[in-house]
Structure 1
């Protein structure tokens, strides 16, 4: 259904009480203003994010183009500073790169104008309640004046009619002719009174209509806003400052980037003002402001704090961690009072747990003075606003002083991502180098073990693999398992230990055929290491004999 177009009509009579109540209710309803503000806020956030992503790609494209150009020149043996470009491929690449950068600049300019329009609409909504209130109050004053004029100019018709009736009752000599004349006179009187009342209705000027006052007031509101400079309109607006910070951070990433310029210089070229460098600006500031020269120290948001010496800042360092949680930022907010940043949940928790409250404003004091004691106590509890001191500088702040900082959020996310990539690359390099070192050490150890014999060899720890045996000790190491089996199995007893007659000097026994050696089972030793070692020594000695 298409919206009905409003067609203003001139007033023929003063506004009644119902119309005045409708005007009063119109200024009390703030739902429409809130509904209109939400999409504008979303539009500002989307423009900020898209501007950052677009200029991030432009920066990466610029870096990649520079590397490719330097690589082509290095392949051809041409120095980077050499002028002239005879390569058609390189000329075409430069043309494509320049065209892409021009498109980025054009889109960024359109987004700049768009976010300015969003800020203009938000400023219009901010001033609209006060303008509507002034229009309603003026309409009430004009209506009261019109009503008073109407009562003064109206003729006292009923008084004349009652006087005529009283005179007729006193005389009592009214016949039919007189009654006819009286009716005729009464009719003439009513006609004259009606015509007089029509003539005496207050004339309402078209300019006194409420819709005319509202249109005039809104036009004046827009005129007042547009009469301000660009710096006054946008440089101090939180949404535009967030957009500009994201744009500057995308164009100048990294810790080596120079600090963001002062807000007073953002629109110097468009306003036709001369822009100074940072040192010249501080040098001319005492002449313009009549104060001492102050140097600036940059915080994580590019804010400035006073100092006694003049210092030229070359770069700023971003703080990645919240001063309250000591953890990297996830949803940072910045205080408008001191420009320090905190994690949103952390600072809101401090505010909710605080027992300190902000002082009453003049508007709040005026509202409380018009209430009774009981209503005043209840209203005070509703109007109390908690406050805390900044963890960095002890400046008092409330929840309304906290604003989002999308530039800091993007910068911290980018630095953390870069740190993770560096850690992964470093771990990969360390893993490769440690693997090579282990291989070299194993080869060196194997070579040394081949040369060492016996107790000179490197001891083997628990849980490690045994070293490769050397050639000189191969036979000795292979004999040890056999001796171990001899201890745990059957023992062979020499025949000389079984017979009673022992031959000397190679004598023979009574039986010509020598008996087979007897197999006598032996119990395994409980302490295999010590006793087994003695057994092995005896066996070796007997065999040698």
Structure 2
């Protein structure tokens, strides 16, 4: 008994803490400041994502379709329409004022010449004032033109959201119908077992069913969120793969904007308006390996342009060595040309050795830079752009095949064997090492037509 009492008494002081005396068993200790969420790292960990095993019920399908009537979408449409009107009015007014100022200053110049003769100094001052004003108005008009195009992009983005909601609702209904039909077939074709036997009849027939997910035992089902995101992303890719002419020169708001600005600039001169085909000059397809737009050494992270139509005329998706689509491209720090990683490393392995490093001349034509493995690096911004260009080409090919199928043309059954950059997560740790650089794969964030 004495030993038990002694052990109990000695345990009492150890249970107290420096923040205060020990509490009873029923009390809950208050964690110290700054320790909330760090007491047990496992407690705050979210469970792994589990894909849905059942489709949306009828109420969920109705709620999904009702998103089309969301007041926020209608409010966005209203804001965009108002923005179109405001930008058009502002551009017209500043060009009207420029025109009025030109007429007024030219009249003042003529009156001076009539009164004092050829006043070269006074005429130069007026011309300088006009040139400064024209330059200022031109820059403001150019910014408003860019703003108008962004507004149109936003309107197309809202339209893409609505189409994606419709597609998601239709997909949910199809999945629900298919799943209900499959469950009905399974219930009607269960093996009949006799009361005295544990084995099904050898003549029992089973219906052919779709493959199932071995980890869950149920047919894989794409969630509504995944359908929406994929549909919206494909819509964005299709839109941005269109030329600038197709995007804006056929848009009523943009055409009216250009007409208003032209009329304000020319007034009653009846000058012909430039042809819409000349509004956006298109470039040529770049040669394989040409993947950089700015000066050598420029930061790719500063380039936020996500326009596929523009990138197509500035970025090649083919390796200059293999002439195949990029799968794992690397870029030279010296000349900003890009190559397939395995191809350039194989080329370097056969190159001449200079100061313990093998080097080769850049395989892009007319480039005389000597490259080593340490000159190569991964450009995540460039890789993202190449992925989007390749995805746009893939969607175009799918649309062409669909059009051929609708017209009754049969395909030979061959598949496209071009391998594109994989956007999945098959790699072990998501990182790749080359030279002294490491590329860590992260999920690309999605931004709507900015």
- TM interval, shorter chain, is 0.3 to 0.5
Task: Using structure 1 for the length normalisation, give the TM-score.
Answer: 0.35
Larger Rg: 1
The structure with higher relative contact order (CA 8 Å, sep 6+) is 2
Task: Using structure 2 for the length normalisation, give the TM-score.
Answer: 0.41
